[in-house]
Structure 1
Amino acid sequence: MKKTHGSLFSGIGAPELASEWMGWENLFHCEINDFCRSFLEKRFKSTSYADITTTDFNIWRGRVDILTGGFPCQDASKAKQTGGRGQLGLEGHRTGLWWHMYRAIDEIRPRWVVAENVANITRVNDGRDFAKILHSLSGLGYNAEWKIMYASDAGAPQRRARCYLVAYSNGIRLPAGKPFFSNVCQEIIKERRMFAGTSLSVGVSWAGQPSVCSVGYGFSNRSSELYGKSRLKEEVFHAYGNSMCPQLMHEIFKRIEYLDN
């Protein structure tokens, strides 16, 4: 039977795309950004929600196999460490939206949950916030595993470290001695390619990334002089910057499919 997928904090639909690659059915997405939501509605045609804080998900109870959500990272990101401020974690208005994802999980009760955030989410407030996330999932009857993964693990020419947390209901039993992530991204071919004049090892880490003489969103001063600034262009790059890596989601989804059959 075809698996079903629902998405929270959907962005431009990286999980939806990976779900489509799997042949699964995308049931709904939830995204407050107007630009991203307009794209989702045109591209995926699933039920559309705007604001997770006001949405009742009870109608999806028992109908969703996999629920995903890249909840906001602003209060957990190292980018906001300024003089010791900015690390509010789950107490912040943005990263604290985890508790609405938790509510949605409780209302929907999917078999699997995949949550994504910056790698630093495991260290905010000396790890206490991440412990709260794990404890909240455990209280709903979910086991959880997590791993810091990189876009380069799926072949992208950048590191882009993110924490991927996979939770599964107590009724799901993994093979003994085989953690969930043991076979994720093991089939990536190690190759080398040229990117922006720099030789990169795909599938493994490298010392640095090609430098970018940039202004906002990576556009050079010369580019802005020649082509001007475009709000649409900035919207697109902002959306890409917030997006999960669909190839990594696809690897996680393949593991779920293998274990859940």
Structure 2
Amino acid sequence: MKHGSLFSGIGGFDYAAEQSDIENIFHCEWIESKRKILKHHFPNSISHGDITETDFTIYRNRIDILSGGFPCQDASIAKQWGEGQQGLQGQRTGLFYEMCRAISEIRPKYIISENVSNILKTNKGEDFSAILTELSRMGYNAEWRVCRASDVGAPHHRSRVYLVAYPSFIRLQQGQTFFSYVQETSSPRSWDIAGASVQIMGGGTWKSEPPVLCVDDGVPSKLVRESLHGYGNAIVPEIAIRIFKRIKEIDNEHKH
């Protein structure tokens, strides 16, 4: 299968695709420092910059899976006061409609979208309704779930909503889901965090997140800021890997 990513960041979806034996065809990221990271790790993937200035028609019917974690700034709970939390009406989160343009130009078979879980609530739920309406208009059904990093055994919550859109001609059987492998039970894992031993069970939750220790000795502050920004916006690749795995299984079932 072939994969293209939008709002690629430091390449979380691209890495997950690579680990899933899915070929990365292109990525699209407008921040130059992150494009350098993408070029380093995915040298054979075609690089695009500003999504608003990119013509995606060259990829029409060439991409099996299109991923995109469209900007969350206008949907984040950090901007719940004043006019900050505008959702799809905001300049950044509103770039979802550019993703829709890319989808209509590429016509991928599957779409994976990711955003903060609060996108389900912005503008009284009208934003998420608009997302589903746009996908339906283009001929896609959709399934979504709020996934945490802890669902795959990571030592933090990082709650995000993942959505998988698929062609309306694909009929899932009762009980079938694209998230079969995300919240499976994992064995306990021990972590040493800030000097404290923490045992974590995948799929579990905590009353509070464990402490994080950050050190920048000898590292330029600009590099630290860029790294934290990249990691802060990045997806958890293990979640995407498990979604990719399920997509490949369901796709194979419908080919037969």
Query: TM-score with structure 2 length normalisation?
Result: 0.92
Residue number in structure 2 paired with 1:127? 125
Contact kept, 8 Å, 1:6 with 1:26, in 2: the verdict is yes
**How far off its partner does 1:207 sit?**
1.0
Q: C-alpha deviations, 1:66-116, integer Å up to 9, x for none?
A: 00000000000001123x431100010100000000110011011100000
Residue number in structure 2 paired with 1:72? 71
Name the CA distance, whole Å, in 1 between partners of 2:134 and 2:127.
Answer: 11
* 1:250 counterpart = 2:248: no
Residue number in structure 2 paired with 1:57? 56
Q: CA RMSD in A?
A: 1.7
Contact kept, 8 Å, 1:106 with 1:140, in 2: the verdict is yes
Name the CA distance, whole Å, in 2 between partners of 1:114 and 1:131.
Answer: 17
**Residues 51 and 186 (structure 1 numbering): CA distance in 2 closer, same or farther, change over 3 Å?**
same
- Match of 2:97, SS state, is helix
The 5-angstrom pairing of residues 220-235 of structure 1 reads: 227=218, 229-235=220-226
Contact kept, 8 Å, 1:198 with 1:210, in 2: the verdict is no
Residue number in structure 2 paired with 1:215? none
Name the CA distance, whole Å, in 2 between partners of 1:234 and 1:105.
Answer: 32
Name the CA distance, whole Å, in 1 between partners of 2:131 and 2:96.
Answer: 8
The 5-angstrom pairing of residues 110-149 of structure 1 reads: 110-149=108-147
Q: How many residues align?
A: 249
Residue number in structure 2 paired with 1:89? 87
Runs of 4+ in structure 1 over 4 Å off: 226-229
The 5-angstrom pairing of residues 73-222 of structure 1 reads: 73-82=72-81, 84-186=82-184, 188-196=186-194, 197-203=196-202, 204-212=204-212, 219=214
**How far off its partner does 1:159 sit?**
0.2
Name the CA distance, whole Å, in 2 between partners of 1:54 and 1:85.
Answer: 28
Name the CA distance, whole Å, in 2 between partners of 1:157 and 1:48.
Answer: 33
Name the CA distance, whole Å, in 2 between partners of 1:132 and 1:98.
Answer: 10
1:184 maps to a residue whose letter is: V
Unaligned runs of 5+ in 1: 213-217
- Match of 1:106, SS state, is helix
Residue number in structure 1 paired with 2:227? 236
The 5-angstrom pairing of residues 15-54 of structure 1 reads: 15-45=13-43, 46-54=45-53
Residue number in structure 1 paired with 2:10? 12
1:199 maps to a residue whose letter is: V
1:206 maps to a residue whose letter is: W
**How far off its partner does 1:209 sit?**
1.3
Name the CA distance, whole Å, in 2 between partners of 1:198 and 1:121.
Answer: 34
Unaligned runs of 5+ in 2: none
**How far off its partner does 1:227 sit?**
4.4
**How far off its partner does 1:187 sit?**
5.4
Query: TM-score with structure 1 length normalisation?
Result: 0.90
Contact kept, 8 Å, 2:181 with 2:243, in 1: the verdict is no
Name the CA distance, whole Å, in 2 between partners of 1:42 and 1:228.
Answer: 20
Name the CA distance, whole Å, in 2 between partners of 1:4 and 1:227.
Answer: 41
Name the CA distance, whole Å, in 2 between partners of 1:120 and 1:198.
Answer: 31
Q: Which moved more, 1:199-208 or 1:102-111?
A: 199-208
